[in-house]
Amino acid sequence: MRKFLCSFILLSFSLIGNAQLFSTRSASVSFYSSTPLEDIKAKSSDVESKLLSTTGQLTFMLLVKSFRFDNEMMEEHFNESYLESDKFPKADFKGAVNNISSVNFNRDGVYPTTVQGNLTIHGITKAVTTNGTIVIKNGKPTAKCTFPIKVRDYNISGKIIGKELAESIAITVDCRYE
């Protein structure tokens, strides 16, 4: 038993030693809404994200007010009327890359992935799953994925939903890790 316990401890330290924690404070999250009346898009480049190479644990977090629009009035309405960013200042994702073992962090390449976890927007947390990619270039990973969401699932409402703002929007995440 003692021999087994020592072997287990050594194996655990070996696995931890091979773990790489990649992080960034300048990832980007953008969203896009298309309706016959108007396309709405915004982007935040002030997103914090972490990726653990051994488990695939993936997180990102941003302040809702960090989204920038081409139209200042849209930005104001977004923060005040729809996302209520004073009341719900953060949005985040906590989950994992399900097939992280298929990503070779020591070899340049493009690796298809599946991401699963909990996305919190407007104070509402929902389980989400989507496909994405991890690109390894010169030992540095970039993770990309797009989450299609229904705004009503996150209690985002208003008279323009379905008219000027689509009922479903695409949230694209692009994380270039150090």
CA distances from 6 to 2, 16, 18, 79, 112 (A): 6, 15, 19, 55, 37
The CATH number of domain 20-176, selected from 3.30.70.580, 2.40.50.220, 2.40.128.110, 3.10.20.30: 2.40.128.110
Burial 138-147 (b: 16+ CB within 10 A, else e): eeebbbbbbb
Burial 38-55 (b: 16+ CB within 10 A, else e): eebbbbbebbbbbbbbee
Query: Band of the pLDDT at 14, cuts 50, 70, 90?
Result: very low
**Degrees (nearest 5) of the Cα angle 75, 25, 126?**
65
Coil, strand or helix at 130: strand
User: Hey, what amino acid is at 5?
Assistant: L
**Whole-model pTM over 0.95:** no
DSSP secondary structure letters along 38-82: -EEEEEEEEEEEEEETTT-EEEEEEEGGG-EESSHHHHHHIIIII
What's CA 17's distance to the chain center, in Å? 26
Distance in angstroms (rounded) separating the CA atoms of residues 158 and 164: 10
Taking the domains of the chain in order of start, what are their residue ranges?
Answer: 20-176
The 10s digit of each residue's pLDDT in 70-121 is 989 889 988 888 889 999 999 999 999 999 999 999 999 999 999 999 999 9
What is the structure's pLDDT at 160?
59
